[in-house]
Structure formats: C-alpha cells, structure tokens
Amino acid sequence: MSEKAVAQKSADQALSTEVLNFLMENEGEGLDYDASELKIPFIRICQSNSPQINKRDAEYIEGIQVGDFFNTVTGQVWSGEEGIQVVTCYQETKYLKFIPREKGGGFLGELAPDDPQIAKAVRLRDSDNKATSKEILPDGNELVVSDQNYCLIVSERGLPTFGIVAMQSTARGVSKRWKTTLKMLQIEDEKSGRIFSPPVYGSMWRLKTIPDNNKKGDWYNYHVSFDSYILKDEELLKAAKAFRISIVSGEAQAVVEHDVVGGDDNNNDDSPF
C-alpha cells in the first residue's frame, strides 16, 4: 500500500473527538514488546523478477511497480521515481554466506569481519576475464558483502518509521559515495564561527531508484542525494539518536532474510542485490 493510499485510508476513517481522546489517553497500551520480539524491516527495490510483482505469488503487493521501494514487513510501497526521505542512523558492513544460486541457494550464516575465510574469498571473472562482484569462499559457497544502513524513513507529514536499506553488489559503490559525503558534511555556527561535523543522523537524504544495466541484464539501482540538515526538528533528532543507541547496544538487530537466494534478488552476478 502506497503512502498516499495510507493517507487516503486515514482520511476515510475520520475519528470522532471522543474516540480520538480515548485513543490518545491510552496511547501505546499493550505495545511494550521486548525489542527481541520485533523485526526491523528492510526497504528494498522491486525488480522485474521480484515475487512482489507476481500476482500469483504469496508475497505479491498490489499496486507495486518495478523500480518502487517496498517495506518487507508491512508491504508499504513508495514510488522509486519520487523517492523517500531518510535519516541514516547507523551503518555497518555484514559478511553473509550463501549457497550459490546454481546449487539451489540458501542462507548459511553471517561471518565475523575478522573470519579468515573472508580474506581467502576469490572474485569470479566473466567471459571477458573481467572481475565480477561475486566472491566465492574456499568451501565453494558465496560471500555477499552487504552495507546495511539503519534509517528512519520520514513520511510527507514528517512521521518517522524505521527500516534497513541494504546495499550490496553494484549498489556498494552507491553506499561508499554516501558514506564519503556524510563524512564531508560540515555545519558552521553563525554566532561563534565554529565549524563542526554533525552526527550521522544530523541530515536528511533523498533515496530514489534509477535504471542500471550491464551485458547480463537490466535492473534498478539506488540514487542517493543530500536533502537538508536537520536544524529545527529536535524530536526527529531525538528519535534518530534513540534508534541508533538501540542498535549499537544490541537491543535492536537486523534479521537476515533467509529467502534471498544466493544473496541476490536478480539473476545478474553484478546486480544491486
């Protein structure tokens, strides 16, 4: 369901003053779940072979189009052309081990960053002897390096939800440029003249999707651009910092999606997932 559809549904279900007051008086009652019980959703791009586009698949999402973003838990959809506003709160690189797609696929676990298997991984080459993004571990399984960006997704009305934007394969180039730009941001205090680097969650970014391709096929990749510094919305900054703290402390964790076959949502070795 798109963000506009959610807004329209809310408008169609206008609440009486009495009901609204009752709900506000009992705000959040019964929702005090332990963080371990909650799954942080991924925000993914719908590709031409994604199950979300197939009407006969159980994961089908009504109204979604190739190139759109979608929430893997709620099924919410955002236009890839219009994009989404995000606040990145935490970034980490994960090393994931998969059975190769041609051998049936399947998730085998996460490797520690200092695991000796990682240094021994061999990058495959294509028919032109050019290196691809696919890496094979000594045991023959596939290594997928994934930059995971824990973000607040800010709606048109300024209401934040959370999700993980995972960038791997060709999308890691986008991730590296994003990190570099974040590192270079600076704010000047007009009163004191002091120049300082804001926290990672001190700025807003616009994520869109753009067509990408190589000789093996076409897909949609990420496009990230700076939107603005967060200089007036203190509540958003507090929410972003709280989300970051919950991740750093281990209270909130990403749940690896075991159904990502061979670590890739597409048939291309150099596709974005």
Say if residues 95 and 263 touch (Cβ distance below 8 Å): no
Please tell me the distance from the alpha carbon of residue 241 to that of residue 245, in angstroms, as a whole number: 6
Tens of pLDDT, residue by residue, the chain (273 residues) = 555 444 444 444 567 888 888 888 888 888 776 655 667 889 999 999 999 999 999 999 999 999 999 999 899 999 999 999 999 999 999 999 999 888 888 889 999 999 999 999 998 887 777 777 789 999 999 999 999 999 999 988 877 899 999 999 889 999 999 999 999 999 998 889 999 999 999 999 999 999 998 877 899 999 999 999 999 999 999 999 999 998 888 877 765 555 444 434 443 444 434
pTM: 0.81
Closest to 232 in 3D by CA, of 172, 166, 158, 163: 158
Phi and psi for 53 in degrees, rounded to 5? -95, -10
Enter the tokens of residue 201.
């969650």
Say if residues 264 and 96 touch (Cβ distance below 8 Å): no
